Amino acid sequence: MKIEYKLKDHDNKARLGLLKTNYGEYETPMFMPVGTKATVKSLTPEELYEAHSGICLANTYHLWLRPGEDVIKHAGGLHRFMNYKRPILTDSGGFQVFSLAKNKKRDITEEGVHFKSHLDGTNLLLTPEKSIEIQNKLDSDIAMSFDECPPYPVSYEYMKKSVERTIRWAKRGKAVHNNENQALFGIVQGGEFTDLREYSCKETVKLDFDGYSIGGTSVGENKDVMYKMIEDGIRYLPTDKVRYLMGVGEPIDILEAVERGIDIFDCVLPTRIARHGQAFTRNGKINLNNAKFKEDFTPLDKECDCYTCRNFTRGYIRHLITSDEMLGGRLLSIHNIRFLIKLTEEIREAIKNKEFKNYKKEFIEKYTKEKA
């Protein structure tokens, strides 16, 4: 099957949904951990299950370059290759082509994007067709359309041309998509221009994808711009399809996006900040490099039910982080991923009880006002 989305309940614009997949049913809003190279950095699938992880992401660009999509196909697909027994979403590689090729030759043509591999400088061409072909071979449960991710800010003229091209690319990708068990999502772009978001949204919806994603909203410090992009991008999406906000994982951003009607999220943030010694807590982020944690023998977050918080103290994790011990980043990754997943669990409960607005207010107050 492809996926099925059912809207079960709502609290104003905040939605409670059910996503049926090849690998079980999952409620939304949902946070998806990112396994860029077919591994959520330092963690096993079992640790993700224990954190209540549903869909896991993997990255088409990285897996195309190494080990190659054919190796993964020969292994029996991405699920068997990485032994993840829940749903997998692959992104299109579009974002990586633009972000990783930054200081290298990169040439956007109607055909696709010419660029050099960040690994060995090889000349490569990623097209909408190639991206879908790779994702078909990876055999993920959800594939993403290949889109252009323009920098921010760009001129209205540039963004208009980019959005039009992304729609042509979406059509080309959809035309070659060939995997009965794989859903295909379209992506809404358009930057901060309300009319281009509207155009992108309506034209993408016309192509009738299995779900819709909003891209290009993580544009820096100005959160109001981001929230407006979400509002503009979501306005013309059908209510019976799932809505995915790409690359967003700050707790407050998740709450603001759910309030505007977003269902699923992904972000490298929980594992990336973990490797730098940071942990989410109910009272905001803490940095375990801080000397004040040296003899703090309490858990990272007293309200957390994760493996790390049940078994280890801030003082021990600080010791691991300051000693460059791998277990430190691993324990923080377990906690940070569970923290965001638990946030979405509480959000779902709040939507069921029609208390989302109040839940959001209390969470943000505690997260921003008190000291960890």
| Choice from 5, 64, 81, 98 touching its own copies (CB under 8 A) | 81
**Distances in Å between the alpha carbon of 193 and those of 154, 158, 163, 216?**
10, 11, 11, 12
| Choice from 30, 82, 101, 183 touching its own copies (CB under 8 A) | 82
Q: How far apart are CA 32 and CA 86, in angstroms?
A: 11
With CB under 8 A as the contact rule, which of the stretches 110-118, 153-161, 255-263, 326-334 interacts with its own copies?
Answer: 326-334
| Shortest distance, position 96 Cβ to its own copies, whole Å | 14
For its own copies, the closer CB: 42 or 127: 42
End-to-end C-alpha distance for the chain, whole angstroms: 45
Quick check: 67 binds its own copies (CB under 8 A)?
yes
Quick check: 276 binds its own copies (CB under 8 A)?
no
User: What contacts 359, CB < 8 A, 6 or more positions away?
Assistant: 346, 347, 350
| Choice from 37, 52, 161, 165 touching its own copies (CB under 8 A) | 37
Quick check: 319 binds its own copies (CB under 8 A)?
yes
Q: How far apart are CA 287 and CA 317, in angstroms?
A: 11
User: What contacts 131, CB < 8 A, 6 or more positions away?
Assistant: 60, 92, 93, 94, 145, 146, 173
| Shortest distance, position 278 Cβ to its own copies, whole Å | 17
* Catalytic, out of 11, 91, 139, 147: 91
For its own copies, the closer CB: 194 or 322: 322
Q: How far apart are CA 29 and CA 255, in angstroms?
A: 10
Edge-to-edge strands of the sheet including 242-245?
Answer: 30-32, 264-266, 242-245, 211-214, 183-188, 142-144, 88-91, 56-59, 34-35
Quick check: 44 binds its own copies (CB under 8 A)?
yes
For its own copies, the closer CB: 16 or 134: 134
120 catalytically annotated: no
9 catalytically annotated: no
Residue type, 8: K
**Element spanning 131, H or E:** helix 128-138
Quick check: 326 binds its own copies (CB under 8 A)?
yes
Quick check: 38 binds its own copies (CB under 8 A)?
yes
Judged by the rule CB under 8 A, the positions of this chain that interact with its own copies are 37-39, 41-45, 62, 66-67, 71, 74-76, 81-83, 294-295, 297, 307, 311-313, 315-316, 318-320, 322-323, 325-327, 329-331
Annotated catalytic residues are: 91, 266
